[in-house]
Amino acid sequence: MAAAASMMMAAAWAWAAAPVKTLHYILPAAEASFDPALGRDLYTGHITEAIFETLYTYDYLARPVQLAPETAAALPEVAADGKTYLIRLKPGTYFTPDPAFHGQPRELTVADYVYAWKRLFDPRLASPNAWLLEGKVLGLDALAEQARQTGRFNYDAPVAGLEIIDPYTLRIHLTRTDFNLGMILAYAPLAAVAREVVDLYGDSKGEVAGHPVGTGVYKLGQWIRGSRIVLEENTGHRAEVWDFHGDAVIERQMKGKKIPQIGRIEISVQLEDQSRWLSFTSGEADLFWLDGPLAPKALVDGKLRPELAERGIQLSRIVDPGLSYYYWNMRDPVVGGFSKEKIALRCAAPSPWRTMWTRKSAWCTTAKRSV
């Protein structure tokens, strides 16, 4: 018995002493609001997507990319006319503990998604993401219009298009046929938000900018605005293992492993290109987006420089679709105005000024430190 107890104590000590895997990452721009409803920039989105969860995500290794369940139990059941979606939630998903829940475990339900989607339409919050559901869900736009007239958004009012059947089942009724709603539901602004958190920490317009509480695999551990962000593993997250398909090498390395593999993410905000590059090459960062101005420092003839490869640094490439917006000064004497001649002039602008573009992005990682 004594020997068995000693072995158990030794095993417990070894587990406790195991180092936490840490990823050091760099943001090239300061973070904005951590409230998903107010998300509008790429870099803050990296944070909110780690803390909050949507019903669906993507299998990014699949070609073409495929929709995959996140908190949903399966892909949505879509009616033949494309106007009704039935969604079932995985039971046993909980928000990270917070004083807003008065010491009680707080399970995720479909009502949290309904509440989060209503927030996008609250005129007081002025979310830039209402367009994701605008004109699509029966009764949702009418609720927003009523709020504009009365000056108060009624979160308790039922919405005909958001039918809560039970805590884990939601039926969505659309105004028109739409077979792409599942992809919309994978957008970070449509992540679940707990009403208790907004009630406790929301500002005068209902925004929770600096106290994010979600159900994701990470939680906010430390935050120094515009300087440092630390994400820690949400150890209470439902048990999940890696199961994505499309890349044989990655599948072989990761299949069946616990999610997440990294217990801590330390993020520094560095606005200057040269500072980010020096941080990465000195070993202070493990993952680094290789923006255009820095490409010559890392690449030669489109390939990673040999001296970097010898240090274990790897180059990965992705095709990243994006949309650029260009604004015209309509009072400018040359390009402004609404006469036929001025409109024709603006239409004659080079196509990169007015079309969707696709850019090739790359990032560098140090293999010996990354997981």
Mean pLDDT over the full length of the chain: 87
For residue 90, the model assigns a pLDDT of: 97
Average pLDDT of the segment spanning 237-261: 88
| Whether the Cβ atoms of residue 238 and residue 72 lie closer than 8 Å to each other | no
Residue 7's pLDDT is what? 35
Range scoring the smallest mean pLDDT among 79-93, 226-240, 345-359 = 345-359
Integer Cα distance of 38 and 36 in angstroms = 5
Q: Is the dihedral of CA 4, 9, 12, 14 positive or negative?
A: negative
Instruction: Express each pLDDT in 191-223 by its tens digit.
Output: 999 999 999 999 999 999 999 999 999 999 999
Return the minimum-mean-pLDDT range out of 15-19, 107-111, 121-125, 170-174: 15-19
Of residues 295 and 103, more confidently modeled: 103
The band of 136, judged by pLDDT with boundaries at 50, 70 and 90, is: very high
Q: With 60 as the cut, is the pLDDT of residue 315 above it?
A: yes
- Taking residues 134-146, what's their average pLDDT? 97
Place 33 in a pLDDT band, splitting at 50, 70 and 90.
very high
Average pLDDT on 239-262 reads 88
pLDDT of residue 367: 46
Q: Which of 82-91, 93-102, 152-161, 298-307 has the lowest mean pLDDT?
A: 298-307
Q: Reply yes or no on whether the pLDDT at 359 is more than 60.
A: no
pLDDT confidence of residue 2:
38
pLDDT value at 158 more than 60:
yes
Checking if the pLDDT of 358 tops 90, the result is no
pLDDT score, position 11: 42
pTM of the model: 0.83
